[in-house]
């Protein structure tokens, strides 16, 4: 009996030792998210300034918290628009965090004047996936066209972050773009995505549920880029239509997974 007790104890310890680390997400405004699994962390589109009344942006106190407390290992930017990226804030963060790296397209990295050895430029000539390893996690960047005909020159980057047991997809400002079969070309259905972070307008089409299932098939979805001036009735209707989706609407809103 005693031998059996010790065996069960060892099995229990072994299972707890290999237990999945919790993933936490903090909303930093617009499409900005800080993601951490206790050991490592990334900040995507999280350093930007006021761009207009339709966009939430990190406050001075939240910027201070990012620099001094959250201290992401990597700061990633999908594109250079002011509701996603601030060159001055990015430069300041790299200067204050000597081991952190930055990822973005050439339109982003050319604006970074210091820490050139910690910059990773994602090419946008085609849809090829480009992966780098930082500490104990991986970041994969790839071109995902920016929504809107007037923004065809914008180099929008999507990211797949392998953080512990989770694969997180962030697509930046895009849409389904069926006219160019965008998501068929991206091949994201083969990436085994756990969490997809999407701009909320990708949920507005009647076929959105089918498109998500066909092209991404994530276990969970997080909706962002929601205007602080959105009509509450519209927001409640979306939440009712998609009861399993997390909608980010409040600065420093947290999700534990």
What are the tens digits of pLDDT across the range 43-102? 999 999 999 999 999 999 999 999 999 999 999 999 999 999 999 999 999 999 999 999
CATH of residue 237: 3.60.15.10
> For the whole model, what pTM was predicted?
0.91
Residue 146 covered by a domain = yes
Residue 142 covered by a domain = yes
Calculate what percentage of the chain has a pLDDT beyond 90.
Answer: 88
List residues bridging with 157 in a β-sheet: 143
Residue 32 covered by a domain = yes
Angstrom distance (rounded) from CA 91 to CA 71: 14
Domain count, the chain: 1
Task: Please give the residue range of the domain that contains residue 122.
Answer: 22-256
Residue 225 covered by a domain = yes
Q: Is the pLDDT of residue 13 over 60?
A: no
Residue 14 covered by a domain = no
Residue 163 covered by a domain = yes
* Contact call for residues 78 and 103 (beta carbons, < 8 A): no
Q: What pLDDT score was predicted for residue 174?
A: 98
Q: Is the pLDDT of residue 5 over 60?
A: no
């Amino acid at each position: 009996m005693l031998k059996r007790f010790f065996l069960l104890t060892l099995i229990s310890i072994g299972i707890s030792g290999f237990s999945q680390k919790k993933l936490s997400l903090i909303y930093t405004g617009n499409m900005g998210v800080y993601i951490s699994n206790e050991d490592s962390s990334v900040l995507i589109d999280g350093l930007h300034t006021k761009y207009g009344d339709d966009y939430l942006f990190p406050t001075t106190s939240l910027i201070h918290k990012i620099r001094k407390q959250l201290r992401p290992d990597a700061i990633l930017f999908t594109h250079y628009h002011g509701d996603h990226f601030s060159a001055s804030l990015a430069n300041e963060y790299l200067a204050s965090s000597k081991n952190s790296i930055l990822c973005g397209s050439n339109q982003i990295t050319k604006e970074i004047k210091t820490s050139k050895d910690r910059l990773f430029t994602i090419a946008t000539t085609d849809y090829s996936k480009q992966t780098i390893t930082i500490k104990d996690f991986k970041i994969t960047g790839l071109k995902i066209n920016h929504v809107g005909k007037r923004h065809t020159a914008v180099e929008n980057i999507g990211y797949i972050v392998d953080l512990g047991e989770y694969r997180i997809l962030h697509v930046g400002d895009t849409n389904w773009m069926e006219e160019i079969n965008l998501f068929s070309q991206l091949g994201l259905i083969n990436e085994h995505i756990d969490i997809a972070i999407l701009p909320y307008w990708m949920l507005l089409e009647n076929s959105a549920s089918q498109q998500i299932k066909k092209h991404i098939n994530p276990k969970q979805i997080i909706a962002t880029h929601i205007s602080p001036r959105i009509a509450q009735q519209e927001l409640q209707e979306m939440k009712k239509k998609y009861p399993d989706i997390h909608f980010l609407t409040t600065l420093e809103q947290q999700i534990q997974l």
